[in-house]
Amino acid sequence: MATIDTPDIAADETLPVPGKKVFIKTFGCQMNVYDSERMAEAVSPLGYAETGVLEDADLVILNTCHIREKAAEKVYSDLGRIRQVKDERRLAGKDTVVTVAGCVAQAEGQEIIARAPAVDLVIGPQSYHRLPELLYRARSESRRIVETAFPEEDKFSRLPEARVARAATAFLTVQEGCDKFCTFCVVPYTRGVEYSRPVAELVAEARKLVAAGVREVTLLGQNVNAYHGDGDDGRPATLATLIRKLSEVEDLERIRYTTSHPRDMSDDLIRAHRDEAKLMPFLHLPVQSGSDRILAAMNRKHTADDYRRLVGKIRDARPDMALSTDIIVGFPSETDADFEATLALVAEMGFAQAFSFKYSPRPGTPAAKMDEQLPETVKSERLARLQELLDQSQARFNAGCIGKTLPVLFEKSGRHAGQLVGRSPYLQLVHATAEPAVLGHILPVEISAAGPNSLSGVIRAA
Ligand code: SAH
Ligand code: SF4
Ligand code: F3S
């Protein structure tokens, strides 16, 4: 039996306290979405059910993003509000444990404890398998804990095995971390070195998801096409090999992956886009800039022409490939001519979708120390011009779908009664009138209208 002097952690972890609630708010990229789901699964055996109501939560987890200043600062304004709620709950005799996870946790660690009095636990992305134990310690030792070491063991194999399927689509993290060190980016510091999960483990996780009703998985990694997990033969497997393996999973109907780096877009992976019917014709391939001088200063290790050639090769293999990208404007020393080169590339590529950002100097990154940081006004003007062009490009891509019949995987109810929403192979949202019974199924939809952000159409007999 456990004594007070030597608390039996295992017993406490396995003894659920019924009726407890956890509130999780997720910032940043899809990998955080995946991690948040895994954290929910990790605390579920302790008796925590998820809630969307902050005031009801005994455990609050903010899963944070450090990529741009705005994202990181948002966390502190949320923590201000959470402190109020915690105080109100305390007056009502209820405890609230506040946890900051994710990339701000990793980057700022102790500083969060200093700045935000409400926080009990700060936990970096590589330690989520230790969440139950750390929550226990924070509570039993009544102290605030910061856990941001990069542990030896990998969290994935130690997180609970049960995967809860929440919809017909699911994320599956296959690779984490980054060794590329683009000069503007915090990811190599917050997520650590590149690590890939073994093929067998991923196939097993995909099978579980499919058994629970998932029909589409999106393979995630900060550098997903650099994937090199152990294959069945014990040798490193490529992303293309993993995709071929996953294609064999019965009832898994669609496979996507994100985010890719142009440097790791191998011929093998391009061939998979030609040969694997389950691999969707959509590729998120960040280019960041159209200027070779800026690309070099960013340490991207590719030129604008490399990118053009690569896209040419991809479209030869898969002519209907929808291309998406990320672009940064206002990187240090970016001139009007550099920016024009970005606009020219965008005009040429016909992006189906894109994310564009004002450069945000991040602590500890080389670009933050570069001379010639640009004024906010220049960044804003450039961003507005770029976004106008990207919006046109997206609208053109969407309009090009009118009259076509596209297979749509229906995922959820729409805003209007009787309406469902799904996605085309090109990741476009598609609205159609349909029975709820078609949720989780792929049906042909004849596209009759296209807006800037979605399509709508009519279901045709299969
Ligand atoms: N691993 C991916 C992207 C990770 S971050 C890749 O290599 O492309 C997502 C996007 O955020 C990046 O593609 C970049 O466009 C943007 N981003 C990253 N750091 C930024 C910064 N300091 N300021 C503005 N945008 C940034
Ligand atoms: Fe960041 Fe570059 Fe790595 Fe992408 S490839 S995560 S932008 S350092
Ligand atoms: Fe943000 Fe970390 Fe993802 S910085 S974009 S949450 S890897």
Q: What was the pLDDT predicted at 24?
A: 98
Residue 4 within any structural domain of the chain? no
In three state form, how does the secondary structure of 221-251 look?
Answer: CCCHHHCCCECCCCCECCHHHHHHHHHCCCC
Return the C-alpha torsion angle 380, 385, 391, 392, nearest 10. Answer: 170
Phi and psi at residue 98, to the nearest 5°: -110, 125
Residue 392 CB contacts under 8 Å (≥ 6 apart), including other chains: none
289 and 383 share one domain: yes
Residue 185 CA to ligand 1 center (angstroms) comes to 6
Last residue of a domain, one of 147, 177, 208: 147
67 in any annotated domain? yes
Question: Is there a single domain that holds both residue 275 and residue 143?
Answer: no
Examine residue 323 and state whether it is found in any structural domain, yes or no. yes
- What is the mean pLDDT, run by run of 10 residues, along the chain of 462 residues? 34 62 97 95 93 97 97 93 97 96 96 95 95 92 91 84 82 96 97 95 95 96 97 95 98 97 97 98 98 98 98 97 98 98 98 98 97 97 98 97 98 92 98 94 98 96 73
Query: Could you tell me if the CB of 421 is within 6 A of ligand 1?
Result: no
What DSSP letter does each residue of 242-275 carry, written as one string? HHHHHHTSTT--EEEEE---GGG--HHHHHHHHH
Are 346 and 423 part of one and the same domain? no
Identify whether residues 99 and 212 lie together within a single domain: no
| Same domain (yes/no): 220, 367 | yes
Query: Quick one: three-class SS letters along 75-116?
Result: HHHHHHHHHHHHHHHHHCCCCCEEEEEHHHHHHHCHHHHHHC
331 lines ligand 1 (CB under 6 A): no
29 lines ligand 3 (CB under 6 A): yes
Cα separation, 417 vs 457, whole angstroms: 15
Tell me the CATH number at 99.
Answer: 3.40.50.12160
Q: Which amino acid is it at 397?
A: F
Q: Is residue 255 part of a domain?
A: yes
Domain coverage including residue 428:
405-459
pLDDT of residue 7: 35
Among residues 399, 418, 441, the one where a domain terminates is 399
Whether 172 is in the pocket of ligand 1, judged by its Cβ within 6 Å, is no
**Strand, helix or coil for residue 436:** helix
How much distance in Å is there from the Cα of 435 to the middle of ligand 1?
40
Q: What is the pLDDT of residue 2?
A: 32
- C-beta 257 within 6 A of ligand 1: no
Give the ligand with the smallest distance to the CA of 71: 3
Q: Give pLDDT, residue 328.
A: 98
Name the nearest CA neighbour of 108 among 364, 329, 389.
Answer: 364
Dist CA 452 CA 207 (whole Å):
35
Residue 109 lies in a domain: yes
Residue nearest to atom 1 of ligand 2 (CA): 185
Question: Do 353 and 436 belong to one domain?
Answer: no
Nearest to 184, CA basis, from 374, 35, 341: 374
Q: Which pLDDT value is given to residue 9? A: 39
Task: List the structure tokens of 79.
Answer: 């923590």
Closest ligand to 194 CA? 2
pLDDT of residue 154: 83
Q: Is residue 6 part of a domain?
A: no
Q: Classify residue 159 by burial, with Cβ atoms within 10 Å: 0-12, 13-18, 19+.
A: middle
Nearest-CA residue for atom 7 of ligand 3: 187
CATH number of the domain encompassing residue 438: 2.40.50
What is the rounded CA–CA span in Å between residue 379 and residue 28?
A: 21
Q: What are phi and psi of 101, to 5 degrees?
A: -115, 180
| 449 CA from centroid of ligand 1 (Å) | 33
Q: How far is CA 78 from CA 57, 74, 101, in A?
A: 15, 6, 13
Do both 332 and 439 map to the same domain?
Answer: no
SS3 category, 449: strand
Q: Which atom of ligand 3 is nearest to the CA of 186?
A: 4
CATH number at residue 186: 3.80.30.20
Which atom of ligand 2 lies nearest, measured to the CA of 299? 2
Q: Is 103 domain-assigned? A: yes
Looking at 117, 147, 177, the residue that finishes a domain is: 147
Contact yes or no for 368/299 (Cβ under 8 A): no
| C-beta of 314 in contact with ligand 3 (< 6 A) | no
Domain co-membership, 231 together with 140: no
Looking at the fold, whether 353 and 232 belong to one and the same domain comes out as yes
Helix H or strand E encompassing 446 = strand 442-450
Q: How far is CA 206 from the centre of its chain?
A: 17
Determine if ligand 1 sits within 6 Å of the CB of residue 357: yes
CA 255, CA 218: separation in Å to the nearest integer? 6
Same domain as 420, residue 299? no
| Ligand 2 pocket at CB < 6 A | 178, 180-182, 185, 187-188, 222-223, 261
Asked if 276 and 355 sit in the same domain, the reply is yes
pLDDT value, residue 182: 98
The reply to whether 28 and 133 lie within a common domain is yes
Q: Which ligand is nearest to the CA of 324?
A: 1
* Nearest alpha carbon, ligand 3 atom 6: 65
CA-nearest residue, atom 21 of ligand 1? 360
3 within domain boundaries: no
156: enclosing H helix or E strand: none
Question: Structurally, how many domains does the chain consist of?
Answer: 3
* Spacing, Cα 35 to ligand 2 middle (Å): 19
